[in-house]
Structure formats: structure tokens, C-alpha cells
Amino acid sequence: MAKSPVTATEEMNLEEALYLMQKHKIRRMPVVRNDNDLCGIIVISDIYPFVGPHAVTKALLSEEVTRQLRNVRVASVMTKSPVTCSRNATIDEIGLIMRRKKIGAVPVLEGTKVIGIITESDILGALSSISHVGSDSKRIFFRIPVTEGIDTFYKIVSLCEQNKLEILTILIHPIPEENSQLVMLRVRGEKISEFIDMLWSHHYEVLITSMT
């Protein structure tokens, strides 16, 4: 998360809010009252109805538009009671919430106080780091029967050990409509071809292999 994020207040006008977004190159700000208590969130699209996307991006504001922005308070356009999380939330939990709620950022709270904000870019960055994107590894996608359950993990680890492969990432996603599970495995080692042959011999359907 980004700690101590830039914030707006309810009384702030939209010209001030837009200035902060442009200055700090951000697209959303938690809105706080009192001693950093969260009361809402404002995003750049909340300002579009008053100036249009092009004007927001290029900061091409006429005197008339600027005057209008000064007359509109953040409290009147912000999203009240936004979705939040605690500092102990996991990235997969937050990513799922963002997808379901169709939102691009979640304020992080300690009690009622804003201590950070996590965005889609933060989630993608974390996942890239976890997945070792850019390392000298190979990514393998394969499908296995859903009936194997928890045994799946142990079988994959055993096959990797037999071929002296280092496991960098393993993700298992159920596909109920196909009665199967999709596995994304990122490994590093010299016997990857032998490992793939063993997957086929265990009746695991290898879908994609790629160097990343």
C-alpha cells in the first residue's frame, strides 16, 4: 500500500482537489474529517461532469469552469462510506473485492483512521513480484481433475523434486463447469522438459509453456 496518502477534506472545493491530484499525479484521494477519520473517497472521474476528461488531463480550464469548480464541495461528489480494508488484509482478498465491486482503490484503515491506500497498480506490482516475472524461469499451465483435491499440491511438489526444479510460484484455480482445476506453475531448472513429460504421463493436460 501507499502509506500516508494524499487526502482531501469534505469542505475542500473541486479546484483544490483537482490541483492535488495533478500535483501528486494521482487519480483518487480518501476524504477525511477530524483527525484523519475516513468519510469518503473522491476519484478523478467525479470531476469529469464539470470539466470533461480532456480538460482534467490537460489542465485546460477556462475561467468559467474554474469558478464552477470553486463552488462545488468535495462532500457533494465523493463516494460516501467506501470499501475499506485493514493493514492485515491479503492482496488476493483485496484484488477479489476490487474486481467484484469494480473499484480501482481501497483505503487502508487502522480503526477509523486512514493509514494508506492500495490500488490496482499496487496489486499487479505485488503479484508480479510474487510470480518472479522477468526471472529465468518457465511458466507452465496445465489442467488436472478436480477430484484430486489437496493431493494436487503434493503431487506437483513431488514431481518438481524428482526433476530438481525450483518452484517459484504455484497457483491453483478451480473450474467447476469443467470439473477440473487450472494450475499455473512457474519453475526454474534444467529438467523442465522431463517434468512436462511426467505431467502428461500423470494425465495432466499441459496447455501452455512459456519463458518469462
The domain that holds 41 is classified in CATH as 3.10.580.10
Nearest-angstrom CA–CA distance, 62 and 34: 33
Nearest to 6 by CA among 41, 49, 34, 46: 41
Which three-class secondary structure state does DSSP give residue 207? Answer: strand
Which three-class secondary structure state does DSSP give residue 173? Answer: strand
Please tell me whether residues 47 and 108 are part of one structural domain. Answer: yes
Q: How many domains does the chain have?
A: 2
For residue 191, what are the domain limits? Answer: 132-211
SS (H, E, C) 61-118: CCHHHHHHHHCCEHHHCCEECCCCEECCCCHHHHHHHHHHHCCCEEEEEECCEEEEEE
Kindly report the average pLDDT of the chain as a whole number: 87
Please tell me whether residues 120 and 143 are part of one structural domain. Answer: no
The domain that holds 138 is classified in CATH as 3.30.70.260
Please tell me whether residues 28 and 77 are part of one structural domain. Answer: yes
pLDDT of residue 200: 92
Work out the pLDDT band at 149, boundaries 50, 70, 90. low
pLDDT of residue 109: 97
**Domain end marker among 110, 127, 144:** 127
Work out the pLDDT band at 135, boundaries 50, 70, 90. low
Work out the pLDDT band at 28, boundaries 50, 70, 90. very high
Q: Whole-structure pTM over 0.85, yes or no?
A: no
Does residue 184 have a pLDDT over 60? yes
pLDDT of residue 203: 84
pLDDT of residue 113: 96
Please tell me whether residues 8 and 96 are part of one structural domain. Answer: yes
Please tell me whether residues 96 and 194 are part of one structural domain. Answer: no
Please tell me whether residues 117 and 143 are part of one structural domain. Answer: no
Instruction: Kindly state the DSSP code that residue 178 receives in the 8-state scheme.
Output: G
Please tell me whether residues 69 and 169 are part of one structural domain. Answer: no
